[in-house]
Amino acid sequence: MRSRASSAERFPDNGGVAIVIVLWVVLVLSLLISGFAFTMHVETQVASYARKELKAEMLARSGVEVARMQLILGALSPTNSGFDALNQDWSTNELLYVDHELGDGIFNVKVTDEESKIPINRATDVQLKRLFGLLGADPADGDVITDSILDWIDTDDLTRLNGAESDYYQSLSPPYRAKNAPLDRVEELLLIRGVTPELYQGTPATDTDPARPGLAEVFTTMSSGSINVNTASAIVLQALGLDEAQVQAVLSRRDGADGIPGTEDDLPFHSAEEFFAAIGNLDPATKLTAQALVTVNSSFFTVKSTGEVGGVKRTILATLFRNGAKIQTVMWREVREGT
C-alpha cells in the first residue's frame, strides 16, 4: 500500500492539464481560422472594389467616346454646318449624357466649349482690367494682376508698372522664376502675383451676393484663340467690351423666348456679322479688337465623363480638338473621386 501511494504522489493525474492544452489548441486554431476568414473577406472586398473601379473607368471612357461621336455628327450635320451652339446635340443631349445606363452602371457627360472662354494668352490689358472689375476685384488689385499676367506671358524680364518678374518670385518661399512664355494650363495663374485661390475658383452665392465665376471658368489655354459668341457667358461678352444692354440683346436673341440657353427655341448666330448687327453700335477700337476674336464655331471641347458602378466613381477630363469630322485628343486626365 505504501508503494502504491508513493507512485500516485510521484505521477499525479494529468487529465486536467491535457484539457487545458486542448482548449488552448482549439483557441489558437479558432484565431487562425478567424484571421484567415477575415483576410479572405478583405481580399474579396478589395477584388470587388477593383472590379467596380475598372468598370467605372470603362464607363467614363465610354462617355468620352459618346461625346466624341456627337461632335463628329454635329460637324457632319447639314443644319448645323458652320456654327456651334448650346442647343445642339454635342452640348445638350439628356438621352445620352444624363444617367446613361450601360451594363450594371451609369455614366454622366458634360461637354464644355473651350472657345466660350477668353484665350488668356491673347487677352489685352484693357480686357483683363475690365474682367477683374466685373469679378469684383479692387481697381488697384486689378492693375497688379493684369500687369503681372502680361509680365508672366511676355518673353522679357522688364517689369510693368504694377507687374512682377522673376526678381519678385525669387523673393517668395519657395522661390521660382517667371515663365516668360504663354501659359500652358490655366492653373498656372495661381503662380502669378495677385491671383488668389478665391479669385481663381470663384465664390458661391450667399444671401446677399450672387455667385461669382472664377478665372478657371473664364479663361482657357486650349483654343483656336477665338471666342464663340453662341456659347460665351455674359461676363465673357462684357469683357469683350459689350455693355449690359448689348449683352442683354445678345442673350435675348441667342437664348430664345424662354431665356434658357440650350433649348429648342434658341436662335444662335450663324455668322459674326449677325452678332455685330445684333449688338448695334460699338466704339471703333473695341469693335476692331472684338472682330479679331469673335467667331460662331468652335474647335476645342472639354469632356467631363463620370462612370459609376455600385457607388464607385471614376471621372475623365478630356480636351478634344475637332478639325472637320476628325477628332484629336489633346489633353487626358483621370480623376479619382470618393466612393
pLDDT block averages, 10 residues each, the chain of length 339: 54 70 81 78 72 93 97 89 92 94 94 97 94 93 97 95 96 96 96 96 86 94 95 95 93 92 93 92 86 94 96 95 94 77
Cell of residue 219, nine digits: 479663361
Q: 212 — phi, psi (to 5°)? A: -125, 125
* Res 9: pLDDT: 57
**DSSP secondary structure of 169-224:** HTTSSS------S--SSGGGGGGSTT--HHHHHEE---SSS--EE-HHHHEESSSS
Q: Check residue 306 and report its DSSP letter.
A: E
CB 297 within 8 A of CB 271: no
Grid cell, residue 100, equals: 446613361
- State pTM to two decimals: 0.83
Q: For residue 102, which phi and psi values (nearest 5 degrees)?
A: -150, 115
Q: Which of 319, 150, 136, 146 is nearest to 235 (CA)?
A: 136
pLDDT of residue 10: 56
Query: Do 263 and 256 form a contact (C-beta atoms < 8 A)?
Result: yes
Which pLDDT belongs to residue 156?
93
Question: CA gyration radius for the chain?
Answer: 32
